[in-house]
Each structure stands twice: as C-alpha cells, then as structure tokens.
Amino acid sequence: MIFLQLAPMIDPKEMQTIRHSEDALRTALVSKRQDLMDRYNKYSPGEQRLLEDCLRPDSTLFHPITLHSPSDWIISHPESTQDFEAFYKNPYRKTPNKGRNTVYIQTVGSFGSSEDSTRLYVEWLQEYCEAFYYGLAVRLLEPVSVSETACAFRINENTCNLQVHAGITMIDLYPEDSWNFVFGQASLTEGMGIFSFARYDDNFYSREYKGRIQKSKKLTPGDYSIFNSYYTPPVTSALLYRSCRTLTHEIGHIFGLKHCQWMQCVMQGSNHLEESDRRPLDLCPICLRKLQSATGFKIAERYKALLRWIESDLTTDTHMEAAKTAQKPTAAFEESRKWLMECLCVIGD
C-alpha cells in the first residue's frame, strides 16, 4: 500500500541512514537454512556477484535507505523486516504455475485525451510489467467505464478532485470513507490489486489543476455522469515513470513481497510523493531473489527485457493511426537505463 501526504523536510544534517551489517544482509539474502543456501548456490557466478554487490559498503548499484522526513514510511509505519527465508516460508504467497501464470490488467475510465492515447499509455504499462515480471504473460482486459464498476465515489474534501472506491485508473482512489486517499492497494490472499496514477501529475496539488471540482457540487449516488468529461492529465515521462513504479510495487505485494527495509528498492513503502520519488525503479538483491524464486527468470534476461523496453521508443501497435508518430516518453528512465547496463556488466552478460 502507498500513501501520500505533504511532508515536512528536515535538516540534511539530521537525515538518517539505515545501514545493515554485512552479516545481516548476507543472512537476509542467502539465509542460514541449508536448503535455501543450496538453492542460492545454484545461481551462476555472475548472478551471485551481482546479488552480493549489496554487501559492499562502497557499492555503486545498491544503496542504504535514507530517511529525510519524520513522515517517511519506516518512521511512521513500523513493520517487521522480511528476509528471503521469511518470504519463502510464507504459506499465503502466490507462486505462478502452468494454470496461473498471467497478470491481467483492467483499466477503469479514461487514461488520456483520446481513445488512442489511452490505449498507448496502457500498452506501455503492460509491456513494462511484462519485462519487470519476466516470464509471465500480462494481458489487457477490455476497459470499463466507472459506471460499469458500480463503485462508490466522492469529492475529496482536501483536494476537491473526484475519487472512486474501485482496476487501474487515472481517477484518485480511497479505500474507506475515513481515508484521505491511496495510490494503490494489493491483496496477497485474493491475488489482485487496484492502483491510481492521478496524483502523479505534476500539477495535481495546484489550485489550477483542471480536475478540481467545486466543493458545492452535489453528488448523487449511482449517477456516474460526472465522469463523462473527467479530466485526465497528459502522459509525460515523469507520469509514466511513476506509474510503472507503482504498478510493479503493488503487484509485488501480490507475489508476497512485503515493504523492503534492507536498502533502496522499488518495494520500499512511501508515505508521500517526495519519498516515493526517492525510490529506485527496480528491486534490491534481496527482493530480486524473492521474485526470481517465485517466477524462475534468468536475472540477465530480465534486465535485458527492461532495457529493451526503455530503448524502444516507438510503440509496436500498428492498428492505430497515432502509433505512426507517438513516441514513448522515456527521458525519466535514463538513470535506470544506465543502472541496468551496469548490472549486466557485473553479471558478465
């Protein structure tokens, strides 16, 4: 689950860094159980070299978590750490098999100013998710309107934007009346999650945000006509980057990965947008091993798939006129592209 609130900054001198000892990190990664150590030893020398890079204090690939604000997730939401052994023996985690190896994406409402732009954006998310969860199929279900979900909806008292209690959507979410909002939630036991990318628009908190609704506006339960012309922000590189990060984070929960507290990782919890933007786009070695054990991919092949997604600017959809000119906005992914290349060099592939 990911929450957002305005976060007071603290003096950089007071910034906290969470550093685990080499022994603690090694145990979290490898385990002291003999069967799990034997499994670890099946990784190739190059894969082990990459995974164990996090044990080096001077690692340039994997970094300790820094806490910049009293409202950062780890401070405000204490949780127990999850090492590989704890993940592995969790009886509720989802492990793909021949009969259950597909991730389905159901969009709710519009994602762009036109049907073509909506389709492009969602297909970019689908392709990214397929690279991130390499080896699994990711399928798009036919989009549905807000009215078809019969979900509850309201106007947020703080931001004056529409919210739904519902897939993947560009409309803000709230799980209960008492909550302000959520970026997303996922259920480990039910194997499903919901995500919203509404607040990833840079102008969302501006008074000039086009999605704001007048506080005096009266809503009628069951009347979804207010969503017919609902504002959706343009798909920028930053919005696409943040959307990919949230989508893969929440799906990670479905596979049994809890919030990471070992090092900087896409599975870190975040309590506000500034903290969310500090998270990297990919997994730390401990969470990478968790996911790899669940899906069985080759680490280098997964990194190559992610690299191809970033470097492939043009959409592959040939059925739309917009596909002839639409470019995937990947400028925000440049640091991730360089990072993936460094990881492949360490593996030796």
Q: Which domains does the chain have, with CATH numbers?
A: 12-347 (3.40.390.10)
SS3 assignment for the chain: CECCCCCCCCCHHHCEEECCCHHHHHHHHHCCCHHHHHHHCCCCHHHHHHHHHHHCCCCCCCCCEEECCCCCHHHHCCCCCCCHHHHHCCCCCCCCECCECEEEECEECCCCCCHHHHHHHHHHHHHHHHHHCCCCEEEECCCECHHHHCCEEEECCCCCEEEEECCEECCEECCCCCCCCECEEEECCCCEEEEECHHHCCCCCCCCCCCECCCCCCCCCCCHHHHCCCCCCCCCHHHHHHHHHHHHHHHHHHCCCCCCCCCCCCCCCCCCHHHHHHCCCCCCHHHHHHHHHHHCCCHHHHHHHHHHHHHCCECCCCCCHHHHCCECCCHHHHHHHHHHHHHHHHHCC
The pLDDT value recorded for residue 20 is 95
Q: What is the structure's pLDDT at 1?
A: 32
**pTM of the predicted protein model:** 0.81
Instruction: Give me the pLDDT at residue 141, please.
Output: 81
Q: Give the active site residues.
A: 250
Please list the pLDDT of the chain residue by residue as tens digits (349 residues). Answer: 333 333 344 454 568 999 999 999 999 999 999 999 999 999 999 999 999 999 999 999 999 999 988 888 888 888 999 999 999 999 888 788 777 788 888 777 666 555 667 788 889 999 999 999 999 999 888 877 766 765 555 555 555 554 443 455 666 655 566 656 566 666 656 666 676 666 666 666 666 655 666 665 677 777 667 666 666 667 889 989 998 998 899 889 889 999 999 999 999 988 777 888 899 999 999 999 999 999 999 999 999 999 999 998 644 444 444 444 578 999 999 999 999 999 999 999 7
What was the pLDDT predicted at 188? Answer: 57
